[in-house]
Structures are given as C-alpha cells and as structure tokens.
Chain A
C-alpha cells in the first residue's frame, strides 16, 4: 500500500457522516493557504505605500520605501507555493502560453506580471533612481557595480530628472492602487466564483479578501518597522506609528463588518448548505475561526486599539499594545486564509458529512516547507534593504526631500 493510500485509510476513520468517495483527499493543502496570505501582504503593503504618494499622508513617509520593498519581497515568493503545489510544475508555463480565458486562475500570469513589472518594479526604480546614482558614485566594487546596473546606467541627477521621477511615481501609484485591488480581489474571485462550494461561493469574497489583505499588509509593515528601527539604532517615530495604526484600525473595522455581514447573510438566507456549514464551524473550525481568527485576530486587537484611542496611553505602552496587536492580527489573517481554503474542503459537497485535514511535517506540502515559504520573503527583504536602504538619505539631497 502506498503512503498516500495508507493516509487515506487513516483519514477514512475520521470521516463524519457521508462524503463522496473522491473527497477524502483535501486537494488544496497548506501551500494554497500560504499563497493568498502572501499576496494579501503584498497588496496591503503596497496600499499603505500609496497612501503617502496619492493621498499625501506625510506622517507615513518613514515607512514608504520599506513598504514598497516589503511588497516586492513577498511578491517574488508569492507564486512559489502555487508552483510547488502543482502535480506538474514543469508544465506551469502553459498558463502563460495557452491560457484558458474563462478560467480565473489562468489570469494569474497576467495579473502577476502586470503587478510585478509595471507597478512595483517601476515604482521602486523611479523612487530610488537618483539615490542609486549618487550611492554608486561614492562606492567601491561590488556595490558600485550593483548600483550602476540597478540604475540602468542612468546618469541624470538633475532637479528636472527628479521632478520627472516624482511625477512618474505618482502616476504609477494611481495605476497601482487599482492593480493592488485587482491582485488580491482576483485571488478572492478564484474562491468566490466556485458555485459548487457554498463556503466559498460569495460575491463578498473578493472584497473580504481585499480588506483582510490591507489589514495584514499594514500590520506587517508596522511589525517590520518596529523590529528593524531599534536594530539599526533609529528611533521609532510615534507620529508615523500612530497614523499607521489608525489606518489599521479602520481597515480592521471594515474587514470585520464585511465578514460579519457575510456571516449574518448566510444565517439569514439559511440555504440548503447551512446545516453542514454550521457543523463545519462548530466542529472543525471552532478554534481556527472562533478563537484565532475572530477573538485573537480581530476582537482583541480592536479592543487594544480602542483602549489606545480612549485612554491616551503613554508612548512605551502604546508601542507594546501596537506590537502585540499586529502580531495577533498576522496570526488572525493567516487563520482567515486557513479557514477559507482548508475549511472549504472539510465538508462534503453532498452536504452530508465532514472530513479531516492532516498536515504533514516534512514533505513538499508540509509544515516545514510552509515555514520556509514564510521566512523566504523576509530573507529577500533583508537583501533588498542591504542593496536599497529604505532610510538612508543620499548625500546631496536636502532632508525632507524624497
């Protein structure tokens, strides 16, 4: 007996009620949980960065470049879990060469390429262009070479050039916001458009995905900012932190309201699937949804942020509250992705039974691989920060200029 079959016989003992015989295998495993989690962070971090350029939120200037680099680092890794999950990764190029235009998934290649090439890389390049040239002028090999290549051998450090850069960046950001919406809304659509699955099939799905993306992205940038700044001997700017937390607060409220609306709507409509979905929530998702996603991931952080707003806590305590909140929010959003992806496969489409998901530790779809995929973007980010320091001012630029 193969290990797969052995595992299935083991799972069979834990099936409650009746499931279709082909449903014993949970087809989209933890890697498919990681994918929307990563793209969510990308979209969220980018939207935070756009607040600076499009809406002129000056307080967020210290994290603007960090947010952009974070989005890039996570975007580079985002397709990896999908690729690893495929039965035939060597054929993945077919999605680009022979896309089926009625498939939401086939659009992946285009949305991804658009976002990476047109939005993120261009915006980062124009943001850094002049600085890179100035850095290269003062450096030795190999950094000098790296920066020369990254600047695409541009030499223009004039004020007119800089003004042009700024104009372009603003333009890209304006295209970038709908693109970020597209990137993550589209991921939600992949699930929301599956009419066979009542847990997924919801018109709200893309919007819920989007707002949870914004929540997770802002929370991640706050977390990174709070960790990295003391490490490099800097001081956390409370104005910036408060402003980010304020945006986070409103995003969590919208996200929470949308999910609550979805929940009430389902209960009120009480369709054919409601019985099995209630069993799913009470039985299989109680901890990951009730405790981690809602209580720890939303209500707790909301409570802390309300406390901060009400009681005008002092800086150190505020920092502590923020820090704990953003960690809990990350945990909560990961649980959100888990509950959508894994939860949606734990009940039978016969609506008569529940199955179980057993995560492996090793192996391609295992826990260790998941951790690796979650750490990899941070490694890439640290390299990006080395090459393109987000806070270092270039020598000839007057402070306050960006």
Chain B
C-alpha cells in the first residue's frame, strides 16, 4: 500500500467513524434520560381558596422559573382579589404590585366578604385551545398537560381567543403562544410546579388526579369542589374548594 492509498483509506475511516458517532449521539439524545413514564400519570391541581393569603409568591416564582416577562401583562399564573360589598358591588383586582397597591379603596364597614383566587391554565380535558390550533402546535400530553411547541407555533393567536380563562398570552420575545405547563420540566423529574413549591400556606395542591392516596386525592375527598365556567364543558383539571359564585 503506497502512501497516497493509505491516507485515502485513513480519511474514509475517520469520516465514517465521525458520522457513525454523530448518529449514535443523536439517537442517544432522543432516548429519555430518566425512567419517567407519562402513561402512568394524569395531572391536576387543587386550590384551596380559604388558604390563599394573596402574597403573590406563586406569581413571582412562576415568572422566574419559566422566563415569563416581568411586565404585568404576561402571566402564566396570577392572583385575583375579590371584594364583595354589602350593596352587592363586586370589586376584582389583579394583586400584582406592579399594577395595584394593597388597598382596594373600600371602607371595611362596607365589605361583606373578601378573598383571593389564584388563577392559571385549567389544563382542560376538553381544551378549546388544542381544538382550534391550526397546526397542532398546542397539544395535550399523555399525562394530561396542555403544552405549546414554540418551534411550530405560527403565532396566529387563535388559541388565545379560544381560551375562556384568559390563561394564554403571546410571548413578546418568541412571538408564540405561551401558558402554564404545570412546570412540565419539573414534574417529569418528580418535582412540584414552582408555584406549588413556594406557596407558604399550601393553598395549591398538585398531583395525580387518579391517585388514590395523595394530598390531591385527600383534597378531593375532604372538600366540595368546583371548576371555573363549567357550562363551557371544558372539563378543567384545576379544581377549587369553596369557590365563590362571583368568580369567573
């Protein structure tokens, strides 16, 4: 074998090995790193209205965890304050300190009742957003979470129009639809969503809706439950205990 032939063969060998290595790495990257099996889960959340103190830590944790823009016009989760006055008037505010200060301007004597309501994507079992997405960029996972593929979303905003809960927004940087994912990157590793993790009063309870022994199943057993806008038949998987009739 002369030198020329040798170097040709060497080049072919190196090139082939590089290619094989590349494919091997790619194949390896596609196999799940953990032994997480989505078919074994179906997630939901319980919210105990009476426990929410309106501290807003869930909102901040969510914004930090999920790179939600800090401006008070983009929320994956937010907290509403309801003040129902004796004369029947209802005052609702987003408690975000960037928009509203702590006062509602109502004399305490005029108040009938007041409470906080944390809001987020309801991860509907019949999600209208998934139904209307023209390209299937919004989809329901096997474990029951509604996600947005920001590489496929064309930014038509039809899903934002179709969501009855105002839970979606157009991310100003990616120009794609964005919403709560139950912190999918965390829950598939066995962690809790950021909002649940930081809640000081455990107003939010996360878990498997079908599990028989879990904080969520206990919550479902011990409380009268309600969901938002049940008449729309979206079948939310976010359930509220002691939800007031004024909440929409």
Contact = CB atoms under 8 A, between A and B. Distances in A.
B contact face: mostly helix, strand, loop, or mixed:
loop
A194 B166 contact: no
A88 interface: yes
A8 B128 CA distance: 27
Given A28-B157, A100-B134, A91 B152 contact: yes
A385 B194 CA distance: 63
B213 interface: no
Interface residues of B, number: 48
Nearest to B137: A94
Interface string A86-108: 11110110110011101111101
Nearest to A24: B73
B158 A21 contact: no
A196 B158 CA distance: 12
Given A21-B78, A87-B175, A106 B168 contact: no
Interface residues of A, number: 47
A contact face: mostly helix, strand, loop, or mixed:
loop
Contacts of B91: 18
Contacts of B112: none
Interface in A344-392: 345, 348-352
A194 B161 contact: yes
Contacts of B135: 91, 94-95, 98-100, 106
Contacts of A251: none
Contacts of A18: 80, 91-94
A21 B166 contact: yes
Given A86-B154, A100-B133, A106-B135, A349 B165 contact: yes
Given A27-B170, A88-B153, A195 B160 contact: no
Interface string B33-75: 0000000000000000000000000000000000000011111
Interface string A158-193: 000000000000000000000000000000001000
Contacts of A117: none
A85 B156 CA distance: 7
Given A87-B153, A88-B155, A103-B158, 14 more contacts: A1-B71, A8-B73, A21-B94, A21-B96, A21-B166, A22-B73, A22-B160, A22-B169, A25-B73, A94-B135, A102-B130, A103-B133, A103-B134, A194-B161
